[in-house]
């Protein structure tokens, strides 16, 4: 089946089929090989890309900028004080202005409905660089990294440990179940994903042959191929820090947890930035640093693939 993503937005991986995600991963791999060989692309030549940031960023900002320049495009950074988005001007009107001037728009901020309005009113592809609900470009990088490590995705056991109801927990569950990867959340019950999202992902899992498990029992990490964690306190939730740290202390990714997998080949992943000593110990982080920073680099290759495929 030929895949054509021209003109499409990436707001959440819910909107993309398994075949479309596979196409993006294959394209990412190809663009990564070309980059390694020093082959510059021209696929975004003459294209202007708006990069809107309400939240600060290292990987997302750099990945979009470098990816765009690599393919001959022009990225324009727009910080929260640079434009009137939702302040003096409605999101709808800003979207209509930017859509006239740019060929694609990246948005990284708080509300999912802002990125959805940008996509609805701009008339150009819009990419979600992170909202409170979803982080789809990170998941593409994660899937590429896992594929590089194991050579395949379907049937692997993926375990997410920590805050299971943040944008990463949500997006990983969507991405893994779409691709046939067994998805397990190990977290306090109050931090499990929302039941309605679990229900949606159960349907993806049924189609792909994956399983979803939510548990509070850390010993259920047994047989994990991949252990994934993220910060315990997300951006904007700093007020809950003390309570969150107390709640999540038993869910730290450490040597004891890793030994419970009974699999010496289990890999550990982290979307970064990491707060070492909290969600992950320094020794485990450093032991798996090569994979974690492959994952960070793969943000750029997968984001480049998304821009190229949709613009």
pLDDT of residue 233: 87
Round the average pLDDT of the chain to a whole number and report it: 96
Given 142, 271, 288, 301, the catalytic residue: 271
**More confident call, 90 vs 86:** 90
What is the pLDDT at residue 241?
86
pLDDT per residue as tens digits for the range 178-230: 999 999 999 999 999 999 999 999 999 999 999 999 999 999 999 999 999 99
Residue 86 has pLDDT above 80, yes or no: no
**283 is annotated as an active-site residue:** no
Domains and CATH numbers, the chain: 13-135+299-310 (3.40.50.1370), 138-296 (3.40.50.1370)
Q: Is 167 annotated as a binding residue?
A: yes
Asked if residue 272 belongs to a known ligand binding site, the reply is yes
Query: Is 94 annotated as a binding-site member?
Result: no
Which pLDDT score is estimated for 84?
A: 82
Q: At residue 235, does pLDDT exceed 80?
A: no
The pLDDT-based confidence of 48 (bands split at 50, 70, 90) is very high
Average pLDDT for 161-181: 97
Q: Which of 138, 142, 244, 270 is catalytic?
A: 138
Q: Is residue 149 annotated as part of the catalytic site, yes or no?
A: no
Query: Does 179 count as an annotated binding residue?
Result: no
Tokens 């680099």, located at residue: 297
Catalytic residue, from 135, 244, 288, 301: name it: 135
Annotated binding residue at 229? no
In this prediction, residues 85-91 reach a mean pLDDT of 87
Task: Check whether 137 is labelled as a binding-site residue.
Answer: yes
For the segment 103-134, what is each residue's pLDDT rounded down to a tens digit?
999 999 999 999 999 999 999 999 999 999 99
Look up residue 206 and give its two tokens: 């049924």
The alpha carbon of residue 140 and the mean position of all alpha carbons in its chain are separated, in whole angstroms, by: 6
Residue 201 assigned ligand-binding role: no
- 31 assigned to a ligand binding site: no
- Classify the C-alpha dihedral 172-173-175-177 as positive or negative: positive
Q: Is the pLDDT of residue 33 over 70?
A: yes
* Residues of the chain above pLDDT 90, percent: 93
Note the pTM of the prediction, 2 decimals.
0.97
142 is in an annotated binding site: no
Q: Is 93 a catalytic residue?
A: no
Active-site annotation holds for 214: no
Neighbour tally for 194: CB within 10 Å: 12
Q: Is 61 annotated as a binding residue?
A: no
Is 281 labelled a binding residue? no
Residue 95 corresponds to which tokens in the numbers above? 């979207």
Which of 8, 244, 299, 301 is the catalytic position? Answer: 299
Model confidence over 283-303: pLDDT tens digits? 999 999 999 999 999 999 999
Residue 242, both tokens: 């003390």
Given 61, 103, 106, 108, the catalytic residue = 108
Q: How many Å apart are CA 203 and CA 138, to the nearest integer?
A: 22
For the record, the structure tokens of 166 come out as 């943040």
d(C-alpha 172, C-alpha 175), whole Å: 5
Q: Does pLDDT of 271 surpass 90?
A: yes
Q: DSSP assignment of 243-308, as one string?
A: HHHHHHGGG-B-HHHHHTT--TT-EEEE-S---BTTTB-HHHHHHTHHHHHHHHHHHHHHHHHHHH
Measure CA 123 to chain center: 24
Answer yes or no: 138 catalytic.
Answer: yes
Alpha carbons 200 and 12: distance in angstroms, whole number: 13
Tell the residue number behind the tokens 């993806």, with chain if given: 204
Query: Which one of 133, 142, 225, 230 is the catalytic residue?
Result: 230
Annotation marks residue 108 as catalytic: yes
Q: What is the pLDDT of residue 238?
A: 84
Residue 1 has pLDDT above 70, yes or no: no
Q: State the average pLDDT over residues 15-27.
A: 98
């Amino acid at each position: 089946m030929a895949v054509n993503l021209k003109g499409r937005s990436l707001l959440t991986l819910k909107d993309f089929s398994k075949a479309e995600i596979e196409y993006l991963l294959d394209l990412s791999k190809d663009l990564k090989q070309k980059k390694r060989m020093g082959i510059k692309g021209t696929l975004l030549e003459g294209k202007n890309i708006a990069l809107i940031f309400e939240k600060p960023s290292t990987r997302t900002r750099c990945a979009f900028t470098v990816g765009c320049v690599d393919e001959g495009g022009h990225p324009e950074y727009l910080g929260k004080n640079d434009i009137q988005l939702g302040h003096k001007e409605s999101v709808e009107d800003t979207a209509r202005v930017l859509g006239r001037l740019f060929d694609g728009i990246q948005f990284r901020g708080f509300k999912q409905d802002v990125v959805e309005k940008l996509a609805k009113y701009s008339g150009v592809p819009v990419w979600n660089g992170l909202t409170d609900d979803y982080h789809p470009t990170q998941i593409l990088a994660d899937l590429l990294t896992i594929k590089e490590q194991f050579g395949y995705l379907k049937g692997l056991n993926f375990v997410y440990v920590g805050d299971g109801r943040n944008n990463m927990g949500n997006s990983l569950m969507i991405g893994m179940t779409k691709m046939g990867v067994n998805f397990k959340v190990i977290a306090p019950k109050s931090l499990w994903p929302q039941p309605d999202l679990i229900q949606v992902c159960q349907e993806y899992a049924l189609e792909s042959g994956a399983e979803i498990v939510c548990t509070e029992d850390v010993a259920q990490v047994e047989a994990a191929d991949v252990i994934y964690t993220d910060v315990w306190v997300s951006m904007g939730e700093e007020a809950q820090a003390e309570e969150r740290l107390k709640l999540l202390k038993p869910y730290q990714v450490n040597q004891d947890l890793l030994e419970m997998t009974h699999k010496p080949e289990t890999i550990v992943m982290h979307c970064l930035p990491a707060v070492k000593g909290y969600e992950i110990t320094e020794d485990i982080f450093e032991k798996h640093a090569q994979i974690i920073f492959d994952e960070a680099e793969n943000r750029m290759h997968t984001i480049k693939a998304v821009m190229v495929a949709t613009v």
